[in-house]
Amino acid sequence: MPKDQPIVDTSPKVSDEVRKTTCYMCACRCGINVHMKDGKVAYIEGNKDHPVNQGVLCAKGSAGIMQVNAPSRLKAPLKRVGPRGSGEFEKITWEEALTIATDWLAPLRKTNPEKLAFFTGRDQSQSFTSFWAQGFGTPNYAAHGGFCSVNMAAAGIYTMGGAFWEFGQPDWDRTKMFMLFGVAEDHDSNPIKIGLGKLKARGAKVYGVNPIRSGYNAIADEWIGITPGTDGLFILSLVHELMKAGKIDLDYLARLTNAPVMVNGDEKSPEFGLFLRDKNGKPQVIDRKTGKLAAFDKKGVQPDLGGTIRKAGITYRTVFQLMADKYLDPQYAPEAVADKVGIPARRIQHIASELARVAFDEAIEIDQPWTDFRGETHDKMIGRPVAFHAMRGISAHANGFQTCRALHVLQIILGSVEVPGGFRFKPPYPKPPEAHPKPHCGAKPDCALDGPHLGFVHGPDDLLLKEDGSPARIDKAFTWENPMSAHGLMHMVISNAHAGDPYKIDTLFMYMANMSWNSSMNTGGVHQMLTDTDENGDYVIPRIIYSDAYSSEMVAYADLILPDTTYLERHDCISLLDRPICEADGVADAIRWPVIEPDRDVRGFQSTLCDLGARLGLPGFVNDDGSQKYADYADYITNHQRRPGVGPLAGWRMNEDGPTGGGRGDVNPDQIDKYIENGGFWIEHVPDEAQFYKPWNQAYQDWAVSKGLFDSPQPYIFSLYVEPMRKFQLAAEGHGDRQPPDHLRERIGKTMDPLPIWYSNEDDNKADEFPITALTQRPMAMYHSWGTQNAWLRQIHGQNPLFVPTKIWEENGFAEGDWARVTSPHGEITVPVAHMAALNENTVWTWNAIGKRKGAWALDENAPEATKGFLLNHLIHELLPPKGDGLRWSNSDPITGQAAWFDLKVRIAKADPPSESLPALPPIKSPVGQGPKNLTWKVGK
Amino acid sequence: MHPAPSIIFFTVASGLGFGMMFWLGIGAPTVIGFNAFLFYLVAYALAVGGLISSTFHLGNPQRALKAFTQWKTSWLSREGWLSVVTLSVIGLYAIAEIFFYTRLIPLGFLGAVLALASVFATSMIYGQLKTVPRWNQWTTPVVFLAMSLGGGALLAGQILPAIVLIVMAAIAVILAWITGDKAFDRAGHTLSSATGLGTDGAVRAFEPPHTGTNYLMKEMVHVIGRKHATKLRVIGMILFALLPVVLLLLSANHVTGAIAAVSHIAGALTIRWLFFAEAEHVVGLYYGKR
Amino acid sequence: MTQLPTSTEKKLGLVIDLDTCVGCHACVVSCKGWNTENYGAPLSDQDAYGSAPVGTFLNRVHSYEIQPDQGPAQLIHFPKSCLHCEDAPCVTVCPTGASYKRVEDGIVLVNESDCIGCGLCAWACPYGARELDQAEGVMKKCTLCVDRIYNENLPEEDRQPACVRTCPAGARHFGDFSDPDSNVSKLTAERGGMDLMPDQGTKPVNKYLPPRPKDTWEDIDILAPLLEPVAENAGGLLGWLDKTLEKL
Ligand SMILES: Nc1nc2c(c(=O)[nH]1)N[C@H]1C(S)=C(S)[C@@H](COP(=O)(O)OP(=O)(O)OC[C@H]3O[C@@H](n4cnc5c(=O)[nH]c(N)nc54)[C@H](O)[C@@H]3O)O[C@H]1N2
Ligand SMILES: Nc1nc2c(c(=O)[nH]1)N[C@H]1C(S)=C(S)[C@@H](COP(=O)(O)OP(=O)(O)OC[C@H]3O[C@@H](n4cnc5c(=O)[nH]c(N)nc54)[C@H](O)[C@@H]3O)O[C@H]1N2
Ligand code: SF4
Ligand code: SF4
Ligand code: SF4
Ligand code: SF4
Ligand code: SF4
Ligand SMILES: [Mo]
C-alpha cells in the first residue's frame, strides 16, 4: 500500500447483536436479521437460512428501519371528537379504550351478535382473528381475500387442491419453460425473483402474458401483450390445439384426475351432469382391464378415459369426452380467437407447440420410486418441465374464476402438476375442497358461532341463507349472487352496511385495511357512506372501531382507534393453520417477536383481542372461572390447541421425551424461545419419496399425517370437472328445493359451467363507449398505501403518472408533462400522463396506491403523493353501470364475488393541467403531526 | 449544468481581477502610491472576492486548504496554487509600488504571467471535463483568457487594448457558442452509447430511478429553453462588447468608462451564466434529458 | 492521492445482468441502509416527509425502452452505481486527494475527512455515480462495500457488497476481474459483458451483460409435426385415444 493512501477500517464492527425475526413490509414474510446497536435497530438484511428468501431482501424489507421509525406511527388509543372524517381525536388510555369497546360490543353479543361486522385486512393471523369472531358469535367475519385474489385461490382449490403463492410454486430448479400470466409482483415476491433468476442463469425460457411489459415481464424472453380479460379464451385455445394434436398426458389424466369419471348425460335427469357414484358416494370409472364400473380409487383399477356406459336408461360418458366435445370446437381454434385476444393465430400455435415439445420431448425423469394411492409402485418420477404461475391479472376480472380454472386445466392436461419440472404444492397443500370446512352462519345470542365462517361449498345446500332466503352475512357471501365466495366480500361490507341490505349492523370493527382509500372501490362514495347520517342525525353505520399502526386515511373515519405496534415490536405467528410459508420440499412456520419494545402507548392488536375477548367473556378467551385465559398473543401462540397436538406453531412441540423436532405434540412452554434460537422459523423437509405426486403419493400422505397437517391420509384426484358447480346450474335449471331468485337463473346457468369457459365482461362495463382498459400494477418497492410513509421508498415512487401506449399517446397529441381527463362509466379523474411503448395498444395503467389523501401519513399537505399522485379507484364502482333492467349488478365475479378491479373501461382526453390531480379532496387533520424536515439517520457511533 | 451564482461570480470576478493584475504587472498603466493602492484594491477585491465566493459552493469550506495538495493532477489545485502565488508575487510588486514608489519590473512580469496562468488554470477546471462536451474544447481557455485580458484592460483603463481584446473575446465567445452547440453531438455520446443498449433499436428513457429529483439532476441536468438562450446571448453580447466598445470609441472619459465597465461586467456575468446553463453533462443522457 | 495507480493488484467490481434485472430497487435500498450505517457520513434525506424529498443514494435503477424496427418494444431495468473505472477522471480532478483509487483492489473511494465538497469529481464522472451529501457536504459514492468484503466480523459468505447479497433475482455479481477464472470474468466473456460510454476513456471495471434477444418466435419455424392433428373433432380424438391407450 502506498504510504499516502488512507487507511480504511475494512473490518468495522457491524452491530452489537443480531435478532432474527420475520419481515412484514408485505405478506411474503421473509426472514430478516435485525442488526442492533445500542438497543436500536441499525440495519436489516435477509436471513440466509430462511426458507422463503434465502438471504435476499426486497427494497421494502431493507427499508424496514424507516417503517419502524416512521413519524406516522400512531402513539396512543384515540377517541374521535370531531365529526367522522375530520381526523379530530383525543388521546385516551387503554383502559378507557377497552371499556368503550366492551360497552359497545357486549350488548350486541347478548342480543344479536350479527350486529358486529369484524373484517380484517391483510391480516396474517386469520386463524386467530376468526377464532375470536367465532367466539363472539357473529357470522360477519372475513379478511381481505374477496377483493384480492379469491378467484385464484378458489379455482385452484376446487380444481386441484391449491393454487399459486401460499399453495405452491413452479419447480424453479428443473423447469425449462415458464409461463407467467398477469403478475406484476405478487405475494411471493422474493421467491419469484429468486426463481426467475435461476431460470435466467440456466437460460430457460420465460413467457410473459401481460398487457404491460414491466418488471418480470420485461425480462421475459417472449412477451404476449394480451388484450385484458381474454386470458381464458387464449388458454382454452392452447387447450384446443394440444387436445387436437393429442399432446396431452393421457396416463396422468386417466390415473390422477377425474377425466375418466362417468357423467350423467341425460338432459332430463335431475342428476344431469352429475357423477355416477357407488353406494359409498365414490365417483365411478370404467376399469379398462375389466370393462366394468369401479370406484375411481379401487386398488389396481385402470380408469378408461373413453368409455361410455348405459345404466337404468341413462347414458354416462367420461369427463374426458365432455372435454373433447367442448374444447375441440372450432370456436377455440387460434384463428377464431386471435382478434379477441390480440395475439396472432400463428403465435398461439407456436406457444402450444412449444408447450408440447418441452413437456413431452424434453421430459425429465428422477430415479425415485413411489407408491400411489391405489397401491401401485412406480420406479420413476416423470417430469414435464413446463411450469406456470399466475395472479391477479387473470383473477381480478369478473370471468377470473373460470380463467384461473382454465389455466389449471391446461397444466393438468400437460401432466405438469406435482411432477418434476412442473408446478409443486407447498405443504399443507394440496388439500381438496372436501378437506376444508364448509362456511357457517349459525348465530345465536350469547353464543359462539356454530363453526368457521369461511369455507368451501359443495352445492346449494351449503349456501349461507336465512330461512326467508335472504343472505345471512352482511357481505352476502355464499349466496346465489356469488355462491363460492370462499373468502367473503370485504369490498361490499361498507356499502351493504350503509344500505342496510341485507340488514343493518351496529358496529363495524376493522383491522389493517385502508378501506376509506385504496382498498375501496368508489372512494368518494365510501367517504359518503361512512359519514352519512340518518334522520336523527346519527351515523348510518353507528360505530366504527379500527386498528391501524399508522396514520392512514382510514383512521379519520373511525370512532375508536386501537393503535397497533409495528412488526418489530410484537409477537406474531405465521401458522400452518393460516397462510403458511412452506416450500415445496419443506413444511415451515415462523414467528415475529419484539426485537424492540414500543416507545409509544400502543399494543399488539392480537394481544388487545385477547384482552377484549376476556372482557366480553368469549369462549376460548376465558378460563372456567371467568378470568382472562391468554395474557397476550405470545401466551395464546404457545398454549392454544386447535386440535389435540396441533397448535398455532408446529415446531418443537412436546412429547414424553421432551421437545420434538416438530409436528404433532403437546404444548411446549419454551416454544417461542426455541423459535428465536433457530432464527425465528421452523422447517422440516419432505422426505425424498414424498417430494412429488403429493395428492396421490402414499409416502406424502403418511408424512403429512405425522406432521399434523391432516388427521388421516386424504388422497384425491384432480377435478377437471367441478361437480359442485353443476349442482348450482341444476338448481338454476329448476332442480332441487333450494332455488335461486329468477333474475339470477340465467347468469348461474351461463357462468357456473363445470368445465372452464370464457365469457366477455366488456358489455357489462360499457366497452363500446369506454374502449380503453385501465389497470393498476404493484410497484415492487412499495406496499399499497403503507409504503409512502417510508422516507426512502417515497423518493422512488412519490407520484404515479398514467402510462399511455404509443397509439393513444399519438392520437391525443400528448407530450411529456401533459395531463389527461380519464372518464369511466362511474366517474372522472384528471391526472398526469407518461408515454410507454411496451404496452398493449388499448391499455393504460398506473402504479397502485401511490396517491394519498392530504393530511394522512404524517406527510406535508403538498406532498407529491397528494398533489400529483392519484387513485384509479375513483373510477371503479362496487356496482356495474346500470343495464336498464332495474337491477344493479355487483362488479364482482359471479361465482366467487372477487372484486373485478381490472374490468375497468375508460375514455381519455387531453386536459388543461389543473393545479393538482382531480378529484382533489380536502385535507384531514393529522392525529400524529408531521414528520421532521431532514433525516441524517445513524444509530450508534 | 446548474448555473451556481457563487461560481459565476467567482470565475468572472477572479478573471477580471487577474486580468487587471496582468496589466498592472506589465506596467500598463504604471501606477505609484495611493493611485496604485486604488488599482490594486480593485484588482484584489475582484480576485480575492472571487476566490472567497468560490468557497461558498463548497460543502466543507473549512478544509479548503487541503485543495492545495494535488497540483500534480488537479487543475483546481493548480488554480489554487497559481492564485496564491500570483497574489503573493503581485502583492510584493504592489507593496513596492504603493509604499516604496518602486517598480520591480521583472517581478511585475512574473506576476503578469502567473495571473494569466491562474486564469488558464481556472478555465481548465472546466475545459478538461470530457463529460461536458461544450466545455471540453480549445475555446474554453481562449474565452477565459480573452475575457480576463479584455475586462482587465478595461478596468485598468487601457482603452485601446480593451477595445481590441473585448472584440477578440466576443469573437471567441461566439466561436465557442457555434462550436459548442455541436459539441455534444460531435462527441458522439447518446443514450445508446451510455447504456450500451442501442444495438436492437431506438432507446428511450422510460421511468427515472426516483420520481423526485436528486443531486445529479439539480447539479448537472439544467435544461434551458433554446429561445431563452438565444435572447440571453444577444443581450450578453450587447452588454459585454457592443455597448462598451461603442462608448469607448465615442468618448473615453470617466463616466463612459464607468458605464462601459458596468455594462461589460453585466455582459460577462450573462455570458458566464450561459456558459454553465447551456452546458450539458453526459449524465443527462441517463435521465433522458437531452 | 489523485494520481491513479499504474496498476492495481486486483480489479474488484460488479457484473450487472440486464437480462435478469427486474427493476425491484432492492439493491438501491439495501445500499442506502448499509451505507447510512457504515462507511463515512450517513446518507441523508432532505424534506423527507415534505413536498420535494431528495436524498443521497449510491445506486439507482433507471429504466429504458427499446423500440426495435420489428416487434414490440422492450423495457430494460438499468441499475447504476460507481463502475470503479481504471482511468477514473473523478480521481484525477480532485484537488484535495480525497478521491483515490486503491492500489490493492482498484476500489475508488472518497476519504471524507479530506473532502471539501467542491463537487468537481461528480462533474468529471460520466455516469452520475457520485452524489454530494447535502447534510454533511462531502462526496458520497459506492464504496464497493469495502467495509463488508473484507470484514472479519461478518461470516465468510456475507463478505460481498450489500446490493449483491440482497439482489433477489441474482442479477448482480461481485468478483475480481483481474482473475480470468473468476465468476465475473467468465460471465463477461460468455455473455459479452460491455462497457458504458467506452468513448469517455474511463475504462470501467464494472461490466453490463446485455439483454438476450427477445421475441424471437417468428424466426423459429413452427414445429409443425408437434401440432399435427390427431383429430379435428371429438369422435376422431376418441378413436385416437383407443389406439394410443392400446399401446400404453
Ligand atoms: N411490492 C408489493 N408487493 C405486493 C403488494 C404491493 O402492494 N406491493 N401487494 C400484495 C397483494 S395484496 C397482492 S393481491 C399481490 C398482487 O400481485 P399481482 O398479482 O402481481 O398484482 P398486480 O400488481 O395488481 O398486477 C396485476 C398484473 O396483471 C396484469 N393484468 C391485468 N389484467 C390482465 C389480464 O387481463 N391479463 C393478463 N395476462 N394480465 C393482466 C397487470 O398488467 C399487472 O401486471 O401482490 C402482493 N405483493
Ligand atoms: N385500483 C386498485 N385498487 C386495489 C387493488 C388494485 O389492484 N387496484 N388491489 C386490491 C387488493 S388485492 C388489496 S389486497 C387491497 C389492499 O388494500 P389495503 O388492505 O387497504 O392495504 P394497505 O394500503 O396496505 O392498508 C392496510 C392498512 O394497514 C395498516 N397497517 C400496516 N401495518 C400494520 C400493522 O402492523 N398493524 C395494523 N393494525 N395495521 C397496519 C396500514 O397503515 C394501512 O392503513 O387493495 C385493493 N385495491
Ligand atoms: S418481500 Fe420484501 S417486504 Fe415482503 S416480506 Fe419479503 S423482504 Fe419483507
Ligand atoms: S464511475 Fe464515476 S465515480 Fe466511479 S470511478 Fe468511474 S468516473 Fe469515478
Ligand atoms: S468533492 Fe471531495 S472528493 Fe470530490 S473532488 Fe471535491 S474534494 Fe475531491
Ligand atoms: S457495492 Fe455497496 S456501496 Fe456499491 S452500490 Fe453496492 S451496496 Fe452500494
Ligand atoms: S436488486 Fe437486482 S433485480 Fe432488483 S433492481 Fe437491483 S439489480 Fe435489479
Ligand atoms: Mo391483495
Asked whether the beta carbons of A866 and A734 are under 8 A apart, the reply is no
Exposure b/e, A836-869, CB count within 10 A at least 16 = b? bbbbbebbbbbbbbbbbbbbbbbbbbebbbbbbb
DSSP symbols for B158-182: -HHHHHHHHHHHHHHHHHHHHHHHH
Mutation test residue for ligand 4: of C87, C90, C92, C109, the one with most atoms within 8 Å of CB: C90
A798 touches chain B (CB under 8 A): yes
Beta-carbon separation of A797 and B212 below 8 A: no
The pLDDT of residue C88 is 97
Q: What is the pLDDT of residues B180-224, one digit of tens each?
A: 999 999 999 999 999 999 887 899 999 999 999 999 999 999 888
Q: Is residue A902 domain-resident?
A: yes
Mutation test residue for ligand 7: of C16, C25, C64, C78, the one with most atoms within 8 Å of CB: C25
Shortest Cα distance from A900 to chain B (angstroms)?
Answer: 28
Q: Which amino acid is at A750?
A: K
Q: What is the pLDDT of residues A909-921, one digit of tens each?
A: 999 999 999 999 9
Domain C12-209 fold is: Alpha-Beta Plaits (3.30.70)
Q: Which of C48, C32, C60 is nearest to A69 (CA)?
A: C48
B204 touches chain A (CB under 8 A): yes
Q: What is the CATH number of the domain that holds A906?
A: 2.40.40.20
For A192, other C-beta atoms within 10 Å of its C-beta total 26
Q: Kindly state the cell numbers that stand for C55.
A: 436524498
CB proximity list for A148: less than 8 A, separation 6 or greater: A122, A392, A487
What is the number of the ligand 3 atom nearest to the C-alpha of C26? 2
Beta-carbon separation of B194 and C197 below 8 A: yes
Confidence bin at B176 (pLDDT 50/70/90) = very high
Chain C residue with minimum CA distance to B215: C131
The pLDDT of residue C245 is 80
Q: Kindly state the cell numbers that stand for A318.
A: 367420461
Asked whether the beta carbons of A632 and A604 are under 8 A apart, the reply is yes
The average pLDDT across B63-67 equals 94
CB proximity list for B37: less than 8 A, separation 6 or greater: B98
User: How many A×C Cβ pairs under 8 Å?
Assistant: 311
Which residues sit opposite C172 in a β-bridge? C16
CA distances A725 to A434, A460, A484, Å, are 14, 9, 9
The pLDDT of residue C1 is 61
Nearest ligand to residue B73 Cα: 5
Q: What is the pLDDT of residues A154-202, one digit of tens each?
A: 999 999 999 988 899 999 999 999 999 999 999 999 999 999 999 999 9
Chain B residue with minimum CA distance to A865: B211
The pLDDT of residue A2 is 55
SS3 content of chain C, % helix, strand, coil (to 5): 30, 20, 55
Asked whether the beta carbons of C230 and A246 are under 8 A apart, the reply is yes
**C74 C-alpha to ligand 7 centroid (Å):** 17
CB proximity list for A351: less than 8 A, separation 6 or greater: A207, A222, A224, A238, C217
Residues lining ligand 2, judged by CB closer than 6 Å? A 121-122, 144, 147-148, 511-514, 518-519, 547-550, 552, 554, 564, 566-567, 605, 776, 783-786, 848-849, 872-873, 901
Residues of A in contact with B209 (CB under 8 A): 796
CB proximity list for A225: less than 8 A, separation 6 or greater: A210, A211, A212, A213, A342, A838, A839, A840, C72
- CA-based angle A615:A617:A621, to the nearest 5? 90
Residue A610 pLDDT > 60: yes
Cα separation, C122 vs C131, in Å, equals 7
Residue C186 pLDDT > 90: yes
The average pLDDT across A713-725 equals 96
Characterise A658 by phi-psi region: left (phi > 0), alpha (psi -120 to 50), beta (else): left
Percent of chain B with pLDDT over 90: 93
pTM: 0.97
Q: What is the pLDDT of residues A334-345, one digit of tens each?
A: 999 999 999 999
The length of chain A in residues reads 941
Q: Kindly state the cell numbers that stand for A283.
A: 365417483
Q: Is-cis flag, bond preceding C68, omega within 30?
A: no
Q: Kindly state the cell numbers that stand for A30.
A: 421473509
CB proximity list for A494: less than 8 A, separation 6 or greater: A508, A515, A520, A526, A529, A530, A541
Asked whether the beta carbons of A422 and A693 are under 8 A apart, the reply is no
Range list of H helices, A767-835: 793-796, 806-811
Cα separation, B178 vs A444, in Å, equals 88
Residue A74 pLDDT > 60: yes
B73 touches chain A (CB under 8 A): no
Cα separation, A166 vs A164, in Å, equals 6
Asked whether the beta carbons of B116 and B48 are under 8 A apart, the reply is no
Residues of C in contact with B72 (CB under 8 A): 2-3
Q: What is the pLDDT of residues A752-805, one digit of tens each?
A: 999 999 999 999 999 999 999 999 999 999 999 999 999 999 999 999 999 999
What is the number of the ligand 6 atom nearest to the C-alpha of C141? 3
Asked whether the beta carbons of A512 and A784 are under 8 A apart, the reply is no
Coil, strand, or helix at residue A393? helix
**C76 C-alpha to ligand 4 centroid (Å):** 22
Q: Kindly state the cell numbers that stand for A924.
A: 384531514
Residues of B in contact with C57 (CB under 8 A): 209-210, 214
Residues of B in contact with A836 (CB under 8 A): 206
Q: What is the pLDDT of residues A496-527, one digit of tens each?
A: 999 999 999 999 999 999 999 999 999 999 99
**A406 C-alpha to ligand 2 centroid (Å):** 29
Annotated domain spans of chain B:
5-199+213-287
Beta-carbon separation of A837 and B204 below 8 A: yes
Asked whether the beta carbons of A319 and A260 are under 8 A apart, the reply is yes
Residue A170 phi/psi, 5-degree rounding, is -65, 155
Total number of domains in chain A: 1
Give the pairing type, strands A843-847 and A772-777. parallel
The pLDDT of residue A663 is 85
- pLDDT-wise least confident of A24-28, A236-240, A414-418: A24-28
Query: Quick one: CATH architecture of B5-199+213-287?
Result: Up-down Bundle (1.20)
Query: Which of B1, B80, B214 is closest, CB to CB, to C54?
Result: B214
What is the number of the ligand 2 atom nearest to the C-alpha of A148? 12
CB proximity list for A226: less than 8 A, separation 6 or greater: A209, A210, A211, A234, A341, A342, A343, A840
Shortest Cα distance from B220 to chain C (angstroms)?
Answer: 7
The pLDDT of residue C248 is 65
Domain that holds residue A813: 772-911
Chain B residue with minimum CA distance to C46: B214
Beta-carbon separation of B209 and A836 below 8 A: no
Cα separation, A823 vs A766, in Å, equals 12
ipTM of the complex: 0.97
Cα separation, B3 vs A333, in Å, equals 64
Chain B residue with minimum CA distance to C96: B67
B131 touches chain C (CB under 8 A): yes
Cα separation, C162 vs A417, in Å, equals 37
Shortest Cα distance from A799 to chain B (angstroms)?
Answer: 6
Residue B128 phi/psi, 5-degree rounding, is -80, -15
Cα separation, B17 vs B12, in Å, equals 9
Q: Kindly state the cell numbers that stand for A210.
A: 401481460
Q: What is the pLDDT of residues A382-392, one digit of tens each?
A: 999 999 999 99
DSSP symbols for A436-479: SPPP-----TTS--SS-S-----SGGGS-B-TTS-BSSTT-TTB
The pLDDT of residue C140 is 98
- CA-based angle A15:A20:A22, to the nearest 5? 130
**A331 C-alpha to ligand 1 centroid (Å):** 30
Q: What is the pLDDT of residues A578-601, one digit of tens each?
A: 988 999 999 999 999 999 999 999
Confidence bin at C221 (pLDDT 50/70/90) = low
Q: Kindly state the cell numbers that stand for B9.
A: 461570480
- Please, what is the average pLDDT of chain A? 96
Confidence bin at A1 (pLDDT 50/70/90) = very low
